[in-house]
Amino acid sequence: MNTGSHSLLSRGMYELQLRQWMAAFEPSRFLVVKMEDMRRDGIQKAVGEAFEFLDLPAFEIADEGAKNSRSYEGMGDEVRVKLERFYEEYDRKLFAKLGWTGWK
């Protein structure tokens, strides 16, 4: 795909990463889970949605604790604004392709 997947910036271009797949398959064939939803609703709910989507029997997560996590310094407002502007086009396209509402 030549998306520069090792670039820290390109890792957040989800629409670009999914573009070829979504051109080949109907969007209804995909389940995309937002990290914000996983944090808010819990991993068990996300896993339950994924298993239901795949028509698999329910599965109980024994340990919902964070794995392979790190702590980082806070991001300044200036950097956050620049990143939001940078990703805005990709995020809008992704929301549209997935039929999500609530873009800003």
| DSSP codes, 46-72 | HHHHHHHHTT------S--S--S----
Domain membership of residue 104 (yes or no) is no
Domain membership of residue 56 (yes or no) is yes
First to last CA, the chain: 29
Could you report the per-residue pLDDT of 28-66, keeping only the tens digit for each? 899 999 888 888 999 999 999 999 999 999 999 888 888
Domain membership of residue 67 (yes or no) is no
Domain membership of residue 40 (yes or no) is yes
pLDDT of residue 104 exceeding 80: no
Domain membership of residue 103 (yes or no) is no
Domain membership of residue 20 (yes or no) is yes
Distance from the Cα of residue 88 to its chain's centroid: 14
Domain membership of residue 18 (yes or no) is yes
Name the pTM for this structure.
0.73
What is the residue range of 17's domain?
Answer: 10-61+75-98
**Structural domain tally of the chain?**
1
Domain membership of residue 1 (yes or no) is no
* Residue owning tokens 């919902």: 64
Could you report the per-residue pLDDT of 56-76, keeping only the tens digit for each? 999 998 888 888 888 888 899
